[in-house]
Amino acid sequence: MPTTTDRTNDFALKIATVNGTGSASANGLLMQAIFRMGIPVSGKNVFPSNIQGLPTWYEIRVNHRGHVARTPRFDLVVAMNNATYERDIRELQPGGYVLYDSSWPLPTSLVRDDVTLLGMPLAQMCVDAFRDGRERLLMKNIAYLGALTALLDVDISVVDTLLEEQYGAKKALLESNHRALRMGREYALKHFDCPLPLRLEAMPRSDDWILIDGNTAAAMGCLFAGATVGAWYPITPSTSLMDAFRGLCARYRRDPVTGKNRYLVLQAEDELAAAGMVLGASWAGARAFTPTSGPGISLMSEFIGLGYYAEIPGVFFDVQRTGPSTGMPTRTQQGDLLLTAYASHGDTKHIVLYPADPGECFTMAVQAFDLAERFQTPVFVLSDLDIGMNDWVCRCFHWDDAYRPDRGKVLGPEQIEKMQAFYRYLDADGDGIAARTYPGVHPKGAYFTRGSGHTKLGTYTEDAAEYQEVMERLARKIASAAEAVPAPIVERRPGASFGVVSIGSCDGAVREALDLLAERGIVADYLRVRGFPFHPSVEEFLLAHDVVYVVEMNRDAQLRSLLALETDMPKTRMRSIRSWGGVPLSADVVVEGILESLVEVHA
């Protein structure tokens, strides 16, 4: 039997099942139990875009040092889908373990001498223990969870508590889950050496950490920012953001006395209509937003251009997925960097925020509304499927009750009354931002909201000079936002010989890669971009290095292109490291990319 060195709180496992069989509940319970034991953990759900029948995987990484990026190396596979046995067993590291359903024999061609097979007749056990066909299918997942509690030394009392929290009001279901859990656990304790060298050990747990996904965090940010209008057309992977917002509003934006809602959530007929609803509500003074993904941004482009030119605020959450076209809707990517920076036809440029985790989804949601109203323009929050739909361990969100929304230059009735005349697109302060009014506040504050050629006084024009004057002001306005967007995170390391630049959810993998490289004596400075237009310190970092590696998740090196377009850094001094197959970035990709490049340079 192969032997494995002790890997306490430092291993990865993959659970391979069939979509639609109810495995998500069991996998989530395992993830939450590890988290409640105080152990740093991350979970990645790799699932198909159809409703039922295709393979799905849930990947859990446990790492006591806090590295949470995806790893392609697995120490344990729970193989519940015979259609993927070959692939799942092949991806195991030498010395790893396979827990599989031995109700049917495992083909001898799949047996590896360097891994340990743990056969458990799960299907037959559930047939014997439960009568209902659906119940047998669902409880098979809880039975393998029970086996994992023994194999990995999971605190069974924590799992019991989670089951009580989830099914406490449904006594029959709770009893079935407890029975299946104990059945699987007792079988593993009787037939296997438990625990495995891949085991869990509780760590000091701080109450300052939570387990949350990015879409829920963004929805909370919208609530705290004062958003009252949400319009959207359902699209993976952003729909759960609006679902979460609607649930939060039902709890916190309903008048306790009258029972009336103080919010409006609208499902539009398409993405273009949703964008129009957001702009209409924002124009009227509400804080409004829409969640979507790349295909939705493409369809919204006409209204995005209107928002830019007519200077109407609005917040657009783009939870990126793999494109182009329909692409792979349930896989992650960073393919919309250029799209959101310059969305719509003609000369446009937009404010974009790039969260790296759910914590920043929360804070940047609030910042996005403030920036949209301060600069009177559409603002994008560019998340991705990995951040949006996967569970992340984050610091608790902290809120300053002294916060007041930045509504920007909005004239009230007293200010308007004192004016001789109000001109909507006149920049009176020289900062590129014209004052606006809310409709119905004062007759003198009325104006035409023009998406066609207009002068600084708001009148129609097709005169070149008058058109250019307004467009140049808009360019100055957006350029000035570089100082207002979140500044990049910059880490200088003594002895660094080059720089690394990244964005969004790449952060965890890049940080881990830099630690691994440092162990080899290869030291690099690091910058994570958090906003566009780029903060001045982005260009300063680039120009301070002879070579910068740009790490991103798309085929065409969009971040590198954006940096080349918007800074004076020569493109020849920026080298691309890209991962774009639809799975979250791993540290291996970054390490191998940098090492290969260094070898080429010194060859």
Rounded CA-CA distance 211/248 in Å is 17
Report how far residue 12's alpha carbon sits from residue 599's, in angstroms, rounded to the nearest whole number: 30
Residue-averaged pLDDT of the chain = 95
Whether the Cβ atoms of residue 405 and residue 369 lie closer than 8 Å to each other: yes
CA 455 → CA 14, 407, 472, distances in Å?
60, 24, 12
Question: Which strands form 74-79's sheet, in the order they lie side by side?
Answer: 41-46, 55-63, 10-18, 74-79, 92-101, 116-120
Token pair, residue 587, equals: 């540290």
Asked if pLDDT for residue 2 goes beyond 60, the answer is no
Residues in CB range of 310: below 8 A, 6 or more apart: 449, 450, 451
**Average pLDDT value for residue range 128-146:** 94
Whole-number Å distance between alpha carbons of 424 and 448: 8
How confident is the model over 361-378, as a mean pLDDT? 98
Mean pLDDT for 107-127 is 95
Q: What is the pLDDT of residue 537?
A: 97
Spatial CA neighbour of 9 closest among 45, 44, 37? 37
The confidence score (pLDDT) of residue 1 equals 47
Asked if residues 271 and 234 have their Cβ atoms less than 8 Å apart, the reply is no
Q: State residue 601's pLDDT score.
A: 67
The pLDDT assigned to 365 comes to: 98
Closest alpha carbon to 152 in 43, 23, 10, 40: 10
List, for residues 158-213, the tens digit of each pLDDT value.
999 999 999 878 888 999 999 999 999 999 999 999 999 999 999 987 789 999 99
Which pTM does this prediction carry?
A: 0.96
The amino acid that residue 223 corresponds to is: L
Three-class DSSP labels, 456-502: CCCCECCCHHHHHHHHHHHHHHHHHHHHCCCCCEEECCCCCCEEEEE
User: What is the per-residue pLDDT for 52?
Assistant: 67
The tens digit of pLDDT for each residue in 438-486 reads: 999 999 999 999 999 999 999 999 999 999 999 999 999 999 999 999 9
pLDDT tens, residue by residue, 209-220: 999 999 999 999
Of the chain, the percentage scoring pLDDT greater than 70 comes to: 99
pLDDT of residue 83: 92
Within 232-310, residue ranges assigned H as helices are 239-252, 271-283, 294-310
